[in-house]
Amino acid sequence: MAVKRVGILALAAFLLTACRDEDEPQPLTITDVVANSENFTLLEAAVLRAGLADALRTGSLTVFAPTDEAFRAAGFADAAAISAASPQMLQSILQYHAINNRVPAGALPIADNAPQQSLLSTNGTLFISRNNEGVTVNGARVIQPDVAASNGVIHVINRVLMPPTQSIVELAQGNPNFSLLVAAVLRAGTNVLTALTTNAPNGLTVFAPTNAAFQAAGFANEAAINAANPATLATILTYHVVPGRVFSTLVPNGADVTTAQGGTIRTTVSTTGGVTLLGRGNNNQVANVTTANLLTTNGVVHIIDRLLLP
């Protein structure tokens, strides 16, 4: 009788466990989490277009996942725009969003710009910061950490991370709105050009004035740049450079930041994250960062709408 009772209890326990296992939702893979989220429709389209659906179902991964809004801000308006993009380009972009290890947000180092190798082998370093304000990667904010998956963890971010392919100078040369900046760098001499082309140990941050910013400061065209004193231009240009990679999320509020020229600029950060800069010679007229966090192979560029004067 005792044997029969034990057998009945064992059977009951088995049935209860089986029922509980059926009722409890099983963890989804990273690919499945993305496919089941209404906020990741463009990410899902990119994963499929890049041929990475199976790769994101296996291994142990951390994925920084941009929202649909982030993709639209990066120029991918809809799924059609994703479909028109090169699969190879999308593959590089998506690999740059993934780490080959499961890393919860609480396990990230409390530091600024801690380098972390992504799945992208060439120029694939991510710069992750964790502080009292949360976690950022290359200046993109983690807006929802630790979304669990069976093969890793997802951290939702508010911006698409673009892997760097150009140096600071190459980025400027490829943008017609920086033609006066490029002319000024060339006119300023070899030392400035070399500094903006080579790799400093911790990178450089450049606040890059547009053509309109140069024109408002009295440099009407390239002829005016070429007529300027090279030493004067070198002084102005190095006043726009700060050592290290200072993403917009790391710019201090109400601080005097020392530039490569030796003088300081006053930085202000609004409650919404907007950044303004004030040069000592700017008569209280601030420069606005209009586009932030353009990552290059040797630093980061922020576009500004006013020339900073020492």
Question: What is the pLDDT, as a whole number, of residue 22?
Answer: 52
| Length of the chain counted residue by residue | 310
Residue type, 281: G
Quick check: 204 and 168 in contact, CB under 8 A? yes
Per residue of the chain (310 residues), what is the pLDDT tens digit?
A: 444 454 554 444 444 454 445 555 667 999 999 999 999 999 999 999 999 999 999 999 999 999 999 999 999 999 999 999 999 999 999 999 999 999 999 999 999 999 999 999 999 999 999 999 999 999 999 999 999 999 999 999 999 999 999 999 999 999 999 999 999 999 999 999 998 988 888 999 999 999 999 999 999 999 999 999 999 999 999 999 999 999 999 999 999 999 999 999 999 999 988 999 999 999 999 999 999 999 999 999 999 999 999 9
What does the angle CA 57 – CA 161 – CA 71 come to, to the nearest 5 degrees? 80
Check residue 26 and give its pLDDT.
67
| CB-neighbour burial class of residue 45 (10 A; exposed 0-12, middle 13-18, buried 19+) | buried
DSSP states along 69-124 = HHHHHTT--SHHHHHHS-HHHHHHHHHTTEESS---GGGS-SSSSEEEE-S-SSS-
> CA angle, 295 as apex, 68 and 238 as ends, to 5°?
145
Please report, as a single letter, which amino acid is at residue 80. Answer: A
Q: Of 304, 293, 284, nearest to 239 (Cα)?
A: 304
For the whole model, what pTM was predicted?
A: 0.89
Which of 154, 145, 131 has its CA nearest to residue 247?
Answer: 131
**Do 289 and 303 touch, CB atoms closer than 8 A?**
yes
**H-helix segments, the chain:** 2-23, 30-35, 41-50, 68-73, 79-84, 87-95, 168-173, 179-188, 190-197, 211-216, 222-227, 230-238
Could you tell me the domains of the chain?
A: 26-157 (2.30.180.10), 168-304 (2.30.180.10)
